[in-house]
Amino acid sequence: MTSLAETPTRAGQRHGFDSLDEETHIDGLPVTGELPRWLQGSLIRTGPAKWEVGERTMNHWFDGLAMLHRFSFADGDVSYANRFLQSRAYRAAEDTGEISYSEFATDPCRSLYQRVTAMFSPKLTDNANVNLARLGERFIAMTETPIPVEFDADTLATAGVAYDVPGHLTTAHPHLDRATKGMLNYAAKLGPRTSYRFFLLAPQAAKPSVIATQPVSRPAYMHSFGLTERWLVLAEFPFVVNPPSLAFSGRPYIENYRWKPELGTRFHLFDRSTGQSVGPFETDARFGFHHVNSYEEGDDVVVDICTFPDAGIVEDLYLERLRAGKPLAEPSLERFRISTTDGTVATERLIDDHMELPRINYGRCNERPYRYAWGVGSDGGWIDRIVKADVVERLSTTWAEDGCYPGEPVFVAGPGAEGEDEGVLLSVVFDGRKGNSFLLVLDAASLEELARAEVPHHIPFGFHGQFAPG
């Protein structure tokens, strides 16, 4: 009889968190099916790939040392390359065999003297393992610390710090400013006068301009934010921190945050042209990592977010729990309708399926009304399917295959596409049956499989990436 810990689902979940040490380049992956000939360019992803340093293991999924992965498409063929991001955190780990920088939930082992010194000169990690952005001709890897790392998309070589962030904490989910082609992002500036800040970075600039600020005493954890044609949308979930504790507690970064449901969820809207804010608009306590999309309908602001009932999901993502096969809290695709006239916030769940790591037809629909979103979901507490949500009809369809665990589905629009879902989805899938990964290509409208390209090794479970047209 198979024990709970040895079921295929839990074995696949566990091995998806095995470290990957090898860097490689493969000119041609074996392809099953047929890739669209129009698909030309590269899917580039970042994610944690190594959790062991010397005799220590990182504590959390978000802590693993970052690796870049590139799948390149040309005339129906697929090549693959991977390379560790040569961050200061990675180089120090390689040189010393020790964890030298504070990560999301893992701190270096320090003496009392070193802990006191770190209060005045903290070694913030540049381990950019969460997301990528393209800014003009630059490619940038990011995490939640203010040290974005530029890299070469062709060689995956690390180039150095990309720009200065006007704060101490930021997000790895910036937005494109359509007017300037620059990057919009959020930062928290900590100190005696802590504040939320939004900034705009021009394509070739090294220093951004702050376009909106708001004072705050206990800043909330922010992983992303929303954008409409008029507003910057800040969802302030009640997972908050007392800023001095980040410096003096001696605990890893995320362990300083506290769940305070009595605060509720508070939305703040910042006018993109003036920086002035309205709100807060309050509703019941939720927690979320990822905004899906936001837009305006008359005087209402519609904000769609993948939400959890509380911040327990952060605890669920500790490696000890993940490798033991513990189920995850399951997210809902939820709509918040903010009335700027009477200050109310109406909420509704959009589909029955669970959804996380959401993507939309970004170039066409971001800031605007939309119909489709794609993400990953589960039936039983672990990511085992790709979900397509129709937020107009409130329906969903799924792709799933026994023993397979898909990553974020990245949408690529077809040439001259007229339909919002006319294109393909690209997802890196871990095959728990074989122990390796493959790139899955689906028709974005029907979720019908078009092709897959097998990698000879596993790719650890990661987070986000971008498609760069070639």
Amino acid at 185: N
pLDDT for residue 379 is more than 90: no
In which band, very low, low, confident or very high, does the pLDDT at 244 lie, cut at 50, 70 and 90? confident
E strands, 98-194, where?
A: 131-135, 138-142, 149-151, 158-161, 169-170, 175-177, 182-189
Contact in structure between 110 and 116 (CB atoms under 8 Å): no
Q: What is the count of structural domains for the chain?
A: 1
List the beta bridge partners of residue 336. 303, 347
- Looking only at the bridges linking them, the beta strands covering 195-201 and 182-189 are antiparallel
CA 364 to chain centre: 20
Q: Residue 434 contacts by C-beta under 8 Å, 6 or more apart in sequence?
A: none
Q: Which helix (H) or strand (E) holds 316?
A: helix 312-316
CATH number of the domain to which 119 belongs: 2.130.10.10
Burial class (CB in 10 A: 0-12, 13-18, 19+), 415: exposed
Q: Pick the closest to residue 364 from 409, 427, 411 (CA basis).
A: 411
31 CB neighbour count, 10 Å cutoff: 17
Identify the pLDDT of residue 122.
Answer: 55
- State CA 434 to chain mean position distance: 27
By CB atoms closer than 10 A (0-12, 13-18, 19+), residue 111 is exposed
pLDDT category of residue 326 using cuts at 50, 70 and 90: confident
Nearest alpha carbon to residue 296 among 275, 272, 276? 272
Domain coverage including residue 289 = 4-469
| CA distances for 178 relative to 203, 213, 458, angstroms | 12, 21, 37
pLDDT band at 121 (very low <50, low <70, confident <90, very high): very low
Query: 324: which 2 tokens?
Result: 């033991």
The 10s digit of each residue's pLDDT in 436-453 is: 999 999 999 999 999 999
Would you call 445 helix, strand, or coil by DSSP? coil
Give the count of beta carbons closer than 10 Å to the beta carbon of residue 59: 21
Say what the pLDDT of residue 371 is. 98
- The size of the chain, in residues, is 470
pTM to 2 decimal places: 0.93
Q: What contacts 119, CB < 8 A, 6 or more positions away?
A: 247, 248
Quote the CA–CA distance of 439 and 187 in Å, as a whole number. 34
- Per-residue pLDDT, 218: 94
- pLDDT tens sequence across 40-86: 999 999 999 999 999 999 999 999 999 999 999 999 999 999 999 99
What's the rounded Cα separation, in Å, for the pair 100 and 103? 9
Written as six digits, the tokens of 232 are: 């910057």
Nearest to 13 by CA among 425, 426, 439, 316: 316
- Classified as helix, coil or strand, 335 is strand
Report, as an integer, the average pLDDT of 240-268.
91
